[in-house]
Amino acid sequence: MWKVILYGYRCYLRQGVLLLTIMNYFEKFGIPVGYKIDENALVQAYLQEQSSFHPDANEVEFEKSALLNKAYKVLSNPIDRAKHFLEIHGKYQDVLDPEFSVEAFNLREKYETLATLKSKKKFQEELAKRISELIATLYKLENNLDAFQKNYGLLRFINSFLEKVRSDAYGRN
């Protein structure tokens, strides 16, 4: 696998085919690449940039402002940030490691058996708690990318599962 660094973008060459063009959002805000970030510095940099490029301040920079918003949204969310962190290291994969497939299977099974609103609500809390635990684990694995990747896979699964459970429960709309 080839890795080329070019003007702040990273391109990956795999089997001779250009695969991904990932913009490095950390660099966009001038903060060091890492899973741990200084949130205050991020907010500060984001608001600073938006005060020059937001359409109310600058009519011509719609796309630039939208891109800043996207970058901020990714970095400020610990789950999206984990994905981006893996992507810029060329380690992102959309798979669940076999090590965790039992846990994932059990969660699915459990949800099927829940009937009452109360138990479903409690299950949502359980999933949310597991997500926090996994995020805490990721902070410790920042320097061990393979383990980081595996744990991220489970985090991603549980998070989209929680989204599904929540959207099943979402009221009027």
Partner 1 sequence: MLTVGIDLGTTASGVAYMKDGRPITCRINGNVTIPSVVNYSGDQVIIGIEAIYSPEVSPESTVSSVKRFMGTGNMFREKSPIEVSADILSYLKNNVERDLGRKIDAAVITVPSHFSDAQRTATKHAASIAGIRILRLINEPTSAALAFGLDRKKDGIFAVYDFGGGTFDFSVLRLRNGIFQILATGGDNYLGGDDIDLAILDYNSQLHELEIDANEKIFGKLVAKFLKENLNDAADIKKKYTYKNRDYEFLLSQNILQQVSCDFLQRTMEISDQVLLDANIDSSELDGVALAGGMTKLKLVRDKVRKHFSTTIWDNINPEEVVAFGAAIYADSIVHKNHSLLLIDVVPLTLGIETLGGGVDKIIHRNTPLPAMEKRYYTTYQDNQTGIKFHVVQGERPLASECQSLANFELTGIPTMPAGMPRIEVKFSVDVNGLLQIEARDQKTSVQQTVVVDPSSGLSPDKIVSLLEKAKKNQEQDSIHARNISLKIESQRMVKFWESMVDKIPFSFQEIAKSGIVNLKTALETDQYEDILLSRKKIEELFGPFLDDIINARLSGRAVTDLAGELQ
Residues in the site for partner 1, rule: CB under 8 A?
Answer: 43, 47, 50-51, 54-57, 62-63, 65-67, 69-70, 72-73, 164, 167-168, 170, 172-173
* Cβ proximity to partner 1, 65 vs 151, nearer residue: 65
Contacts of 41 (CB under 8 A, 6+ apart): 29, 31
Does residue 61 contact residue 53 with C-beta atoms inside 8 Å? Answer: yes
Closest separation in Å from C-beta 77 to partner 1: 8
* Cβ proximity to partner 1, 72 vs 92, nearer residue: 72
Closest separation in Å from C-beta 147 to partner 1: 25
CA-CA-CA-CA torsion sign (125, 130, 133, 134): negative
Closest separation in Å from C-beta 34 to partner 1: 20
Closest separation in Å from C-beta 132 to partner 1: 11
* Cβ proximity to partner 1, 13 vs 43, nearer residue: 43
Does residue 145 contact residue 91 with C-beta atoms inside 8 Å? Answer: yes
* Cβ proximity to partner 1, 4 vs 57, nearer residue: 57
Assign 3-state DSSP to the chain and report helix, strand, coil percentages, each to 5.
Answer: 65, 10, 25
- In order, the DSSP letters of 19-43 are EEEEE-HHHHTT--SSSS--HHHHH
